[in-house]
Chains A and B, each alone.
Chain A
Amino acid sequence: MIRQEIIENIKVRAGKDMLDLNDRSDKRVYVTIKKETLTKIVRYLFNDVKARFSIASGVDTRNAIEILYHFSVDEIGLMVSVRVILEKPKPEVESLTSIMKCAEWIEMEIHELLGVDFKGHPNPKHLLLKDDWPEGNYPLRRDQ
């Protein structure tokens, strides 16, 4: 599947939920979408394009938590990073584990480090931090 086709398909599927598209270079594309349309876009990338889920990364931008889901389209070496912005004080987003099993660990990690609630996660436990880590204390938050 060619690069332009993937970008166009994301645009069509996201519609007016598409907030930004940064076609940064041949191999890197960043799209920012509303969180309501996340599962639709991920389903397209993971199931239809058969892109490999590389990882997700979260960052605290003070007003909100941003999560970037990085997908690698290995046939053309393209990295598509899907960004969602989750408003504080209660950042939450749909869990992607029902679409991709491989998202289970990283969602656990982002939950414990940044305090994002992944709705529908099958195993909402600690991954890296110990089990008795104080509730509500998130190491990568900048407001604590």
Chain B
Amino acid sequence: MARNIIPIGPYHPLQEEPEFFRLHVDGETVVDMDIEIGYNHRAIEKISESKSYDQVTFLIERICGICSTSHPFAYTNAIDDLLGVQVPERALYIRTIIGELERIHSHLLWLGLAGHFLGYNTVWMWAWRYREPILDIFERISGNRNHYAMFKPGGVRRDLDEADFPWIKKTLKGLLPKFDMFKGAVMDDPVIRARTEGVGVLTKKDVHDYACVGPTARASGVAIDVRRDDPYAAYDRVDWKVITADGGGVFAKAVVRILELYESTNIVLQCLDKMPKGPIDLNIKDMPVGEGIGRHEAPRGEVFHYIMSDGGNSPARHKVRAPSYMNIFSNKKAVIGETVSDATIILAAVDPCYCCTERMAVVDCKTGKKLMDGQDLIRLSQEKTERLRNTRTIL
């Protein structure tokens, strides 16, 4: 059969990360893939060199719209490392709470998208519905549903009001039965299992070779988590565990994320109970010459920030590395050998803020004729699930 090329991407108005994948397919099977990124290059590292340290927190909060706190978290960790200071205890707990609430809503967002790709639109509606209470909590805390502007070098910008705690706890506890429902809907459903288990597998060796991070690595049984390995904020003051799964496929990645919902809720509840009273900010005035590295375990994996200071008001160099930078590259390994109908969910399984599917198109490379578009590819994926579902019913 002739070898065809399927271009996927690059633009979709709903997502903040346009990427372009060129799948080389032989019949149904993906035999090679090229990845192009850079469509959204905004020169943030360069702009950062012209902003004051305080302004940089606002700038980098706008790198990602979903996990907007991940970058300020890693950045403030880098500043703390550069200065060698200990941030006030209360601020550490507030940072932890914000980081974990963000993980919950980010994972729910992914779960919804994954459900949609597989033809489980009820999961999609539910997941996004139960993401709302988390955004309500953010609105109560910071005034914003996203882009909370809570972080600053040396502390946090806003204190939490103790009067809100009972309501926050009640809202979070109310979500636990919903998480049970998702757990049942995904982990006990034979069709989802058949559809996603063993699809797009990354072995432990692949994880090391491609330097994958976050749930993408943990789903292959690699227990890495910056929160535990290089403790920061209040993560070493509360009880929680690193979630891993075996298998390394799409199913394992979903399992890791769903189980992490419980851990994050648990962490927030403990923080609310244990949070001491006291100052929330060090009011840092001067920056010495030096360099610092800050890391944060974002919903998608380790975020890495490197700051070099020459003693001035702005960073002399600010390197930012988001987790998707490593994880998207691993798609090269995960997609090859799989079928076209599975490509959508595999590319989405690393949670790359990717939803360029409407721009997907299957083009015959000899005639240049468009055979399928993004809608067709999602349909293909949903039909495969339907086929499996019907087979099960007959059996």
Interface residues, chain A, with chain B CB atoms under 8 Å away: 25, 27-28, 30, 50, 52-55, 57, 59, 68, 70, 72, 74-77, 79, 81, 100-102, 104-106, 126-130, 139-140
Instruction: List the A residue with the shortest CB-CB distance to B318.
Output: A57
Quote the shortest CB–CB distance from A105 to chain B (angstroms). Answer: 6
- Is A127's CB under 8 angstroms from B43's CB? no
B184-243 residues with Cβ-Cβ distance < 8 A to A are: 208-211, 213, 224, 226, 229-231
Judged by a CB distance under 8 angstroms, whether B58 is at the interface is no
The docked-state distance in angstroms from the alpha carbon of A28 to that of B226 is 14
Q: A100-B211, A101-B210, A102-B326 are in contact. Are A25 and B84 (CB under 8 A)?
A: yes
Question: In whole angstroms, what is the CA distance A130 to B211 when docked?
Answer: 26
Interface size (B, Cβ < 8 Å)? 32
* B residues lining the A interface (CB < 8 Å): 37-38, 41, 43, 45-46, 81, 84, 208-211, 213, 224, 226, 229-231, 291, 293, 295, 302, 304, 306, 308, 316-317, 319, 321, 325-326, 329
Task: List residues of chain A with CB within 8 A of the CB of B325.
Answer: 55, 105-106
In whole angstroms, how far apart are the Cα atoms of A106 and B326 in the complex?
Answer: 10
CB within 8 A of A128: which of B37, B291, B295, B319? B37
Check A129–B306 contact: CB distance below 8 A.
Answer: no
Work out how many contacts link A and B, with CB atoms closer than 8 A: 75
Bound CA span A77–B41, Å: 31
Central interface residue in A53, A57, A81, by most chain B CB within 10 Å: A57
From B43, B46, B81, B306, contact of A57 by CB (8 A)? B306
Q: How far is the CB of B127 from chain A (nearest CB, A)?
A: 30
Question: Given A25-B84, A77-B230, 16 more contacts at CB 8 Å?
Answer: A52-B224, A54-B302, A55-B319, A55-B325, A57-B319, A70-B293, A72-B295, A75-B229, A102-B209, A102-B329, A105-B37, A126-B38, A127-B37, A128-B37, A128-B41, A139-B43
Q: List 12 A-B contacts (CB under 8 A).
A: A25-B84, A52-B208, A53-B211, A55-B325, A68-B306, A72-B302, A81-B293, A100-B209, A102-B209, A102-B329, A105-B37, A105-B329
Q: Which residues on the A side are within 8 Å of B41 (C-beta)?
A: 128-129
Residues of A within 8 A of B319 (CB): 55, 57
Write out the residue numbers on chain B whose beta carbons fall within 8 Å of the beta carbon of A102: 209-211, 326, 329
Report whether B293 and A79 are in contact in the complex, using a CB–CB cutoff of 8 Å. yes
Q: How many angstroms between the C-alpha atoms of A28 and B306 in the bound complex?
A: 12
